[in-house]
Structure 1
Amino acid sequence: MSGQVIFVSGIDTEIGKTVVTGWLARQWAEQGVDVITQKLVQTGCVGASDDILLHRRIMGCGLFEEDRDGTTMPALFAYPASPHLSARLEQRTLDLDVIAQATARLCERFGSVLVEGAGGLMVPLTEQLLTIDYVAERGWPVLLVTSGRLGSINHTLLSLEALAARGIALHGVAWNSRDDSNDDVIATDSRDFIRTHVRRHYPDAQWYDVPRLDLA
Structure 2
Amino acid sequence: MPDQSQVSMPIDINSVKGFLSPAEGNTLFECAREMPRGSVALEIGSYCGKSTVYLGLGCKKAQSTLFAVDHHRGSEEHQAGELFHDPELVDETGAFSTLANFRSTIRSAGLDDTVIPVLSSSAQFARVWQGSLSLVFIDGGHSLDAALLDYRSWVGFIPGNGRLAIHDVYPDSETGGQAPITIYRLALASGLFREVAAVDSLRVLERL
TM-score (structure 1 length as normaliser): 0.43
**Higher Rg:** 1
Query: TM-score under structure 2 normalisation?
Result: 0.44
Of structures 1 and 2, the one with the larger relative CO (CA 8 A, separation 6+) is: 1
Q: Please identify which structure carries the higher helix content.
A: 1
